[in-house]
């Protein structure tokens, strides 16, 4: 089975071609509903989804919320500045990212309690989805402050409906570990969950320079024939989705370096084959990056077999691998 691809070109990639930049941000005659107090006292937090690539996808309600806020919290103020400039929004911005969120939360809560109306955005898509903000949201809830969300674009769901893989159930995992050993271990745990009954389309984000290696690790742990899809530059001019067995896509991207934002999807597992084949496949993969003892422990958990049985087989396979290398 060969990998297939689809590419579409968005007609409205330049926001000024699809939107009148001078149009009002507010719907006439309708009051906007945000977590903002208009009568003094405690304000709150509004989570605002932003475009994942095409500025034309930003909603009117999202623009209203950012325009009415006293402060916009964002991952990268430079990225958010482009969106604000496009909609003529002049609200002040401050950075809130993984390196400063824990330290900033108490002061931000105090400012909300004193009446500061805040909005939270990520660089692209829904806040909190592989992005900062969870600690702040928990603190807002614990402080009993107003909290709401203005939904919008989401890369994982966009890729899912384009992939041709079963849309439900699905599991969004985020980014896989950057190093191969940790990545294989994470994949082995998911494989164990599948053997315990999990049947879902799995979704990750991935950096383009790691995509080929990640696909190769997937092929080792999940099998080369698992259905897979790679979404790239979604909603942008050169949007592309490649579909095919994970082994085929791994080989393709090993030769063709991708660019842009990547969403990676793996279809559900089919009916299980013999546990002996599963055990050997899992052990061979783990033995390439772990000691015999550690590989056996991980494989025993993944396969659900006694550790002594798995350890004995791991010793046999390790000896076979050593002899073949010699």
Mean pLDDT to the nearest integer, 255-278: 83
- Percentage of the chain beyond pLDDT 70 is 85
Per-residue tokens: 161: 């409906």
Instruction: Report the candidate in 49, 69, 68 with the shortest Cα–Cα distance to residue 59.
Output: 49
Query: Quick one: pLDDT at residue 307?
Result: 84
Supply the mean pLDDT for the chain.
86
pLDDT in tens, 88-120: 999 999 999 999 999 999 999 999 999 999 999
d(CA 322, CA 311): 16
pLDDT in tens, 123-153: 999 999 989 999 999 999 999 999 999 999 9
Per-residue tokens: 38: 């208009």
Query: Quick one: pLDDT at residue 60?
Result: 96
Query: Quick one: pLDDT at residue 282?
Result: 86
User: Taking the CB of residue 22, how many other CB atoms lie within 10 A of it?
Assistant: 6
Three-state secondary structure call for residue 15: helix
| Res 257 pLDDT > 70 | yes
DSSP letters of 195-262?
HTT---EEEEEE-GGGHHHHHHHHHHHH-TTSEEEEEESTTSTTEEEEEEEHHHHHHHHHHS---S-E
pLDDT in tens, 160-191: 999 999 999 999 999 999 999 999 999 998 98
More confident call, 219 vs 11: 219
The Cα-based distances of 198 to 110, 204, 269, 310 in angstroms read 43, 17, 9, 23
Query: Quick one: pLDDT at residue 68?
Result: 96
| Res 4 pLDDT > 60 | no
pLDDT in tens, 282-316: 888 899 889 999 999 888 877 777 788 889 999 99
Query: Quick one: pLDDT at residue 1?
Result: 45
Per-residue tokens: 166: 């079963």
d(CA 115, CA 127): 22
| Res 23 pLDDT > 70 | no
More confident call, 123 vs 19: 123
| Res 158 pLDDT > 50 | yes
Confidence of residue 18 (pLDDT cuts 50, 70, 90): very low
d(CA 83, CA 141): 28
Query: Quick one: pLDDT at residue 124?
Result: 95
d(CA 79, CA 88): 15
Could you tell me the sign of the dihedral formed by the alpha carbons of 272, 274, 275, 280, in that order?
Answer: negative
Confidence of residue 275 (pLDDT cuts 50, 70, 90): low
Confidence of residue 42 (pLDDT cuts 50, 70, 90): low
d(CA 197, CA 162): 26
d(CA 267, CA 222): 10
pLDDT in tens, 194-204: 877 789 999 99
In angstroms, how far is CA 150 from the centroid of its own chain?
19
Per-residue tokens: 258: 């991708």
Q: How big is the CA angle at 23 (ends 16 and 59), to the nearest 5 degrees?
A: 75
Maximum Cα interatomic distance, the chain, rounded to a whole number of Å:
80
Instruction: Report the candidate in 61, 66, 67, 51 with the shortest Cα–Cα distance to residue 15.
Output: 51
d(CA 185, CA 233): 28
Q: Characterize 72-98 residue by residue with b for buried, 16 or more Cβ atoms within 10 angstroms of its Cβ, and e for exposed.
A: bbbbeeeebeebbebbebebebebbbe
Query: Quick one: pLDDT at residue 305?
Result: 76
Confidence of residue 8 (pLDDT cuts 50, 70, 90): very low
Low-confidence winner among 38-47, 78-87, 113-122 (lowest mean pLDDT):
38-47
Per-residue tokens: 16: 């000024």
The dihedral over CA atoms of 137, 138, 139, 142, expressed in degrees to the nearest 10, equals 130
pTM summary value: 0.74
């Amino acid at each position: 089975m060969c990998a297939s691809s689809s590419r579409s070109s968005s007609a409205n990639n330049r926001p000024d071609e699809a939107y009148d930049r001078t149009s009002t941000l507010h719907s006439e005659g309708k009051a906007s509903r945000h977590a903002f107090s208009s009568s003094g006292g405690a304000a709150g937090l509004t989570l605002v989804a932003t475009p994942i690539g095409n500025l034309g996808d930003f909603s009117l309600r999202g623009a209203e919320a950012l325009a009415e806020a006293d402060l916009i919290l964002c991952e990268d103020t430079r990225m958010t500045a482009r969106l604000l400039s496009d909609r003529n929004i002049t609200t002040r911005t401050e950075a809130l990212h993984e390196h400063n969120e824990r330290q900033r939360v108490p002061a931000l809560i105090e400012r909300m309690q004193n009446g500061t109306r805040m909005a939270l955005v990520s660089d692209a898509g829904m806040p909190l989805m592989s992005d900062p903000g969870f600690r702040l949201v928990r603190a807002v809830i614990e402080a009993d402050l107003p909290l709401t969300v203005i939904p919008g674009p989401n890369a994982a769901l966009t890729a899912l409906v384009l992939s041709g893989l079963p849309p439900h159930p699905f599991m969004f995992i985020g980014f896989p570990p950057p190093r191969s050993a940790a990545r294989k271990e994470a994949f082995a745990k998911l494989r164990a969950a599948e053997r315990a009954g999990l049947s879902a389309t799995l979704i990750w984000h991935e950096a383009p320079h790691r995509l080929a290696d990640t696909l190769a690790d997937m092929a080792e742990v999940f099998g080369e024939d698992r259905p897979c899809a790679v979404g790239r530059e979604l909603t942008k001019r050169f949007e592309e989705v490649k579909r095919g067995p994970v082994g085929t896509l791994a080989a393709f991207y090993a030769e063709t370096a991708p660019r842009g934002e990547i969403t990676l999807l793996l279809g559900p597992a089919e009916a299980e084959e013999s546990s002996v084949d599963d055990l050997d496949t899992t052990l061979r993969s783990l033995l390439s990056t772990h000691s015999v003892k550690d590989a056996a422990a991980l494989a025993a958990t993944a396969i659900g077999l006694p550790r002594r049985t798995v350890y004995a087989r791991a010793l046999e396979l390790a000896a076979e691998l050593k002899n073949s290398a010699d």
